[in-house]
Structure 1
Amino acid sequence: MSQEQPSFKRSFRLFDATMIVAGSMIGSGIFIVSSDIVRNVGSAGGLLLVWVLTGLLTVAAAVSYGELSGMFPKAGGQYIYLKEAFNPLIGFLYGWSFFTVIQTGSIAAVGVAFSKFSAYLFPVLSEKNILFSVLGLNISAAQLTSIALIIFLSFINTRGVQYGKYVQSIFTVTKLLALFGLVIFGFILTANAETWHHNRETGFSIQQLTSSGFLPYTGWAAFGAIAASMVGSLFSSDSWNNVTFIAGEIQNPQRNIGLSLFLGTLIVTSIYLLANIMYVSVLDLPSIAFAENDRVGVVASQHIFGEEGTMIVAIFLMISTFGCDNGLILAGARVYYTMANDGLFFKKVGELNKNGVPEKALWIQCAWASVLCLSGKYGELLDYVIFAVLIFYALTILGIIRLRIKKPKLERPYKAFGYPFVPLLYIFTATCICILLLIYKPNYTWPGLGLVLLGIPVFYILKKNNSEL
Structure 2
Amino acid sequence: MSEDKNLTGKVGGKKLFIIGTSSIVGPWLVLTSQWIGYTGASVILAFALCGLLCIPIALCYGELAGMFKTRGGTYEYVRTAYNREAGYWISWTTMFTYIVLICFQIICVTMLVQYIAGWAFSQALIIGISIALMIVMTLLNTRDLSVATTVQTLLFFVLVTVGFLFVACFFLNDAWSIDNIGPFFQEGMTGHNDIIGMDAGFLLAIAALVTMFFGFELIPQFAGEADYPPNKYWKLMAGGIIFVIIFDSIICLAELGMTSLDPTMTTYEYISSLYSSNGMVSAIFAAAYVGNWLKWFIVIANFCCMGCCLIGFWMGATRILHAMGSAGSLPSVFSKTNKHGMPSTGNYFVLIMVLILTLIALSGPAWINATFSLMALGVGFTYLGVSLSYLKLLKAYPNADRPWSAPGKAIMGYIAAASSLFMTLMMIWTVISAVLNGDPIMAVMAIVFFVIIGVMRYFMKKDEQKNPDRYVEEPILLSKEEAVVTAEESVVDMPVELNK
Alignment-derived partner of residue 27 in structure 1? 26
Alignment-derived partner of residue 336 in structure 2? 351
Q: Distance in 2 between matches of 1:389 and 1:433?
A: 8
Alignment-derived partner of residue 188 in structure 1? 172
Matched, 1:144 2:151: no
Deviations 1:299-325 (A, max 9, x none): 333344234554332222112112221
Deviations 1:92-111 (A, max 9, x none): 11222344x32222112211
Q: Which moved more, 1:377-386 or 1:259-268?
A: 377-386
Q: Cα–Cα, structure 1 residues 315 and 4, in superposed 2: closer, same or farther, change >3 Å?
A: closer
1:391 and 1:434 in contact (8 A); partners too: yes
- Structure 1 residue 364, shift from structure 2 partner: 1.9
Q: Distance in 2 between matches of 1:39 and 1:355?
A: 45
Q: Distance in 2 between matches of 1:393 and 1:370?
A: 26
Alignment-derived partner of residue 358 in structure 2? 373
Alignment-derived partner of residue 463 in structure 2? 465
Alignment-derived partner of residue 138 in structure 2? 154
Q: Cα–Cα, structure 1 residues 176 and 88, in superposed 2: closer, same or farther, change >3 Å?
A: same
Return the match for 1:226 from 197, 202, 225.
Answer: 202
Alignment-derived partner of residue 255 in structure 2? 279
2:81 and 2:392 in contact (8 A); partners too: yes
Alignment-derived partner of residue 15 in structure 2? 16
Matched, 1:300 2:285: yes
Alignment-derived partner of residue 246 in structure 1? 222
Deviations 1:263-312 (A, max 9, x none): 22221221111212212222422222222435333333334423455433
Deviations 1:385-415 (A, max 9, x none): 5223202202211221211101222211121
Return the match for 1:173 from 152, 157, 171.
Answer: 157
Q: Distance in 1 between matches of 2:174 and 2:74?
A: 43
Alignment of 1:396-407 (within 5 A): 396-407=386-397
Matched, 1:106 2:101: yes
TM-score, normalised to structure 2, is 0.79
Return the match for 1:323 from 308, 322, 325.
Answer: 308
Which AA in structure 1 matches 2:287?
Answer: Q
1:95 and 1:335 in contact (8 A); partners too: yes
- Structure 1 residue 371, shift from structure 2 partner: 3.0
1:25 and 1:239 in contact (8 A); partners too: yes
Alignment-derived partner of residue 482 in structure 2? none
Alignment of 1:74-93 (within 5 A): 74-75=70-71, 77-93=73-89
2:287 and 2:294 in contact (8 A); partners too: yes
Alignment-derived partner of residue 129 in structure 1? 121
Q: Cα–Cα, structure 1 residues 273 and 334, in superposed 2: closer, same or farther, change >3 Å?
A: same
Alignment-derived partner of residue 219 in structure 1? none
Richer in helix (by share): 1
2:6 and 2:341 in contact (8 A); partners too: yes
Which AA in structure 1 matches 2:153?
Answer: S
2:210 and 2:423 in contact (8 A); partners too: no
Q: Distance in 2 between matches of 1:231 and 1:34?
A: 16
1:465 aligns to what SS in structure 2?
helix
Deviations 1:331-351 (A, max 9, x none): 211110111122222432211
1:298 and 1:310 in contact (8 A); partners too: yes
Q: Distance in 1 between matches of 2:175 and 2:82?
A: 51
Alignment-derived partner of residue 419 in structure 1? 409
Q: Cα–Cα, structure 1 residues 11 and 37, in superposed 2: closer, same or farther, change >3 Å?
A: closer
Q: Which moved more, 1:390-399 or 1:203-212?
A: 203-212
Q: Distance in 1 between matches of 2:305 and 2:35?
A: 22
- Structure 1 residue 13, shift from structure 2 partner: 0.8
Deviations 1:51-107 (A, max 9, x none): 1122212333222210111112345511111111222222111222344x3222211
1:185 and 1:304 in contact (8 A); partners too: no
1:97 and 1:452 in contact (8 A); partners too: no
2:166 aligns to what SS in structure 1?
helix
Q: Distance in 2 between matches of 1:51 and 1:381?
A: 19
2:152 and 2:307 in contact (8 A); partners too: no
Which AA in structure 1 matches 2:204?
Answer: A
Q: Distance in 1 between matches of 2:148 and 2:193?
A: 44
Q: Which moved more, 1:441-450 or 1:150-159?
A: 441-450
2:181 aligns to what SS in structure 1?
helix
2:124 aligns to what SS in structure 1?
strand
Kindly report the root-mean-square deviation, in angstroms, between the aligned alpha carbons of the 2 structures.
3.1
Deviations 1:427-455 (A, max 9, x none): 22332343344445514599488678755
Alignment-derived partner of residue 218 in structure 1? none
1:97 and 1:451 in contact (8 A); partners too: no
2:209 and 2:376 in contact (8 A); partners too: no
Which AA in structure 1 matches 2:10?
Answer: S
- Structure 1 residue 361, shift from structure 2 partner: 1.5
Return the match for 2:181 from 199, 204, 207.
Answer: 199
Alignment-derived partner of residue 51 in structure 1? 47
Q: Cα–Cα, structure 1 residues 373 and 210, in superposed 2: closer, same or farther, change >3 Å?
A: closer
- Structure 1 residue 250, shift from structure 2 partner: 0.5
Return the match for 1:429 from 412, 419, 422.
Answer: 419
Q: Distance in 1 between matches of 2:85 and 2:449?
A: 11
Which AA in structure 2 matches 1:299?
Answer: I
Q: Cα–Cα, structure 1 residues 86 and 294, in superposed 2: closer, same or farther, change >3 Å?
A: farther
Alignment-derived partner of residue 314 in structure 1? 299
Q: Cα–Cα, structure 1 residues 397 and 281, in superposed 2: closer, same or farther, change >3 Å?
A: same
2:10 aligns to what SS in structure 1?
coil
Aligned residues: 440
Q: Cα–Cα, structure 1 residues 398 and 297, in superposed 2: closer, same or farther, change >3 Å?
A: farther
- 5+ residue gaps, structure 1: 131-137, 213-221
Q: Distance in 1 between matches of 2:46 and 2:316?
A: 28
Q: Cα–Cα, structure 1 residues 37 and 156, in superposed 2: closer, same or farther, change >3 Å?
A: closer
Q: Distance in 2 between matches of 1:371 and 1:263?
A: 35
Q: Distance in 2 between matches of 1:155 and 1:198?
A: 46
Which AA in structure 2 matches 1:384?
Answer: L
Which AA in structure 1 matches 2:107?
Answer: V
Deviations 1:122-167 (A, max 9, x none): 45xx6x433xxxxxxx522x32222222211221221211111111
Q: Distance in 1 between matches of 2:25 and 2:250?
A: 14
Q: Distance in 1 between matches of 2:132 and 2:446?
A: 31
Q: Distance in 1 between matches of 2:434 and 2:332?
A: 33
2:87 aligns to what SS in structure 1?
helix
- 5+ residue gaps, structure 2: 260-266, 436-441, 471-500
1:33 and 1:233 in contact (8 A); partners too: no
